[in-house]
Amino acid sequence: MAMKTWKLSTGLLSVVVVGASTVVQGCGTASTSSSGSKDTSSSSGGVVQLTYWNMWSGKWEQVVQKMVDQFNATHPNIHVNMLAVPSASGDQKLLTAIAAGDPPDVFTEWNASIGEFAAKGAVMNLDQFMTGKYAGLKNWFYPSVTQFGTYNGKLYAMPWTENTYALYYNKTMMKQAGLNPNDPPTTLAQLFTVQNKEWKFGNGGVVTQMGFYPSGNFEHLMPAFGLSGSDLFTNGKYNLLNTKAENDMSYIAQFKKYPYSQVSAFTSGLDSAGGGSTDAFDIGKEGFTISGMWEMGQIQADDPSLSYGVEPLPVGPGGNANSTWINGNYNMIPSGSKHPEQAFEFISWLAGYENAAWAAEAYPTGGWVPNSPEITKQPAYQKWLSQDPVRKQFVNVLNSPKSTTDPVTPAAMLYETQLTNAEDYVLQGKKSVTQALSDLQNQANQELQNDAK
């Protein structure tokens, strides 16, 4: 799923730490919530009641609720009560609850806010629970997936299901452009040349069809240039003025040849032109796009007849083939959780640890990429992959040690938001590559200084 971002309040996070320290001392006692209702997260009748918040809605909420129901059915001493909170305000709602001494026991996070939560003590360090049967948990995951949940070498958010990315290509549009639909580009240079043949314009230069447009793809293209999170963050500061980052943004800058205003007008008008869809690729109006496995489900809903293929991300100079940028769904235990040990048991179960056969059956219901090779190799998951070989592209890249994510820092949310702005400035020709990266670097490092105060 696509990530939505917003700026967390540093001031509120400071309040959270004070409030959380008070809550921990009273763990396990019945209380009244900040809304005045009885606290359902306390133990009752020998059954521990856990409160679980996430930001899903619609069909996704139903998928997760079914998993929660299965946990409850198999764990008679723990009962999980799930609440879906609005995605646009989920992080802020969580922080408010922690500050008020009434946090949930578990929160699912997919935004780049984990570093800020961890730095301010708003969520628990999960390493403390990794003893006994959980001692080998970290090594059970694909090595690359733990990066998104790790801050200062400690795991604060447990990997659940992953977002990996690949290149989708429209076979029909390739054929119409005189290209071989079974020979997609494998380098970024080839992609730029090939996609250029697929653009179409109407009267007044109005865009009617796109080849490829990389707005929002700087992060996805990081492996293509051998760019890792450790390249972007060194010695406690953001370092964006390095050759790999400049090559990444320079590739995006090539697309300023296509009028930004016309592209924006084209994409903003898709909801009416496409019968409700806002995805140009899904309705056959874009030749190439970088996306995750969920795109397959959207295509099935928007245009089941679409002829398309999927290939690993094309590579650029110094790039890493068959690798990807990673984010996904991660579970945190907020500071002040009344039942942290049971909360850890719940999120470990969801992650499939010592429960891989169940996860292999459950994850396909959401079209999800697993967090561990132990889940991937299960017969049920292999069967699901074989039903559509395209799916394998999104799982195989997790085996690459070169797959990466953004640096996890207290300024990661601001960095991600301002990165999108930097890309747009470059595509509009308002800033050079160097200026855009320099400004972004200064903004992110200033945020780090503000957070340290």
Which CATH number belongs to the domain containing residue 44 in this structure? 3.40.190.10
Distance CA 351, CA 162 (A): 11
**Is residue 403 a part of any domain in this protein?**
no
**Is residue 4 a part of any domain in this protein?**
no
Q: Which residue type does 236 have?
A: G
Instruction: Specify the 3-state DSSP secondary structure of 89.
Output: coil
Distance CA 293, CA 297 (A): 8
Per-residue pLDDT, averaged over 178-194, amounts to 97
- Strands (E) in 55-105, as ranges, are 78-84
**Is residue 285 a part of any domain in this protein?**
yes
**Is residue 259 a part of any domain in this protein?**
yes
Q: Mark whether 217 and 104 lie in a shared domain.
A: no
pLDDT in tens, 64-112: 999 999 999 999 999 999 999 998 899 999 999 999 999 999 999 999 9
Q: Mark whether 281 and 331 lie in a shared domain.
A: no
Q: Mark whether 88 and 202 lie in a shared domain.
A: no
* Residue 360 predicted with pLDDT over 60: yes
Q: What angle do CA 186, 190, 196 make, to 5 degrees?
A: 130
What is the pLDDT at residue 269? 86
In this prediction the pTM is 0.88
Domain endpoint, select from 350, 365, 393? 393
How far is the CA of 258 from the CAs of 84, 191, 200, 263, in angstroms?
A: 41, 15, 11, 7
Q: Mark whether 103 and 216 lie in a shared domain.
A: no
Alpha helices in 125-242, H assignment, sequence order? 137-140, 171-176, 188-196, 229-232
Helix (H) or strand (E) holding 16: helix 10-25
How far is the CA of 318 from the CAs of 222, 225, 228, 325, 400, in angstroms?
A: 11, 5, 12, 16, 16
- Using pLDDT thresholds of 50, 70 and 90, give the confidence band for residue 29: very low
Distance CA 239, CA 254 (A): 23
- Using pLDDT thresholds of 50, 70 and 90, give the confidence band for residue 140: very high
- Using pLDDT thresholds of 50, 70 and 90, give the confidence band for residue 16: very low
What is the pLDDT at residue 14? 39
Yes or no: say if 333 and 126 are a contact pair by the CB < 8 Å rule. Answer: yes
Instruction: Specify the 3-state DSSP secondary structure of 167.
Output: strand
Q: Mark whether 65 and 134 lie in a shared domain.
A: yes
Q: Mark whether 92 and 154 lie in a shared domain.
A: yes
* 37 Cβ contact partners less than 8 Å away, ≥ 6 residues apart: none
**CA nearest to 397, candidates 158, 165, 155, 196:** 165
**Is residue 356 a part of any domain in this protein?**
yes
* Residue 324 predicted with pLDDT over 90: yes
Q: Mark whether 425 and 294 lie in a shared domain.
A: yes
Range of the domain at 359: 10-164+327-393
**Is residue 280 a part of any domain in this protein?**
yes
Residues in the chain: 453
Per-residue pLDDT, averaged over 9-19, amounts to 39
Distance CA 164, CA 145 (A): 10
* Residue 35 predicted with pLDDT over 80: no
**CA nearest to 96, candidates 224, 159, 9, 6:** 9
Q: Mark whether 20 and 51 lie in a shared domain.
A: yes
Distance CA 40, CA 159 (A): 26
**Is residue 402 a part of any domain in this protein?**
no
Low-confidence winner among 29-33, 222-226, 318-322 (lowest mean pLDDT) = 29-33
Instruction: Specify the 3-state DSSP secondary structure of 284.
Output: coil
- The two tokens of residue 176 are 């119409």
Domain endpoint, select from 360, 393, 426? 393
**Is residue 117 a part of any domain in this protein?**
yes
Q: Mark whether 388 and 261 lie in a shared domain.
A: no
Kindly write down the DSSP assignment for every residue of 110-158, as one continuous string: -STTHHHHHHTT-B--GGGG--GGGTTHHHHS-GGGGGGGEETTEE-SE
Q: Mark whether 333 and 270 lie in a shared domain.
A: no
Distance CA 406, CA 156 (A): 16
Per-residue pLDDT, averaged over 260-287, amounts to 82
- Using pLDDT thresholds of 50, 70 and 90, give the confidence band for residue 248: very high
* 80 Cβ contact partners less than 8 Å away, ≥ 6 residues apart: 50, 52, 68, 71, 72, 106, 346
Q: How many domains would you assign to the chain?
A: 2
Q: Mark whether 285 and 191 lie in a shared domain.
A: yes
Q: Mark whether 264 and 337 lie in a shared domain.
A: no
Distance CA 168, CA 185 (A): 11
Distance CA 52, CA 160 (A): 15
Distance CA 84, CA 22 (A): 26
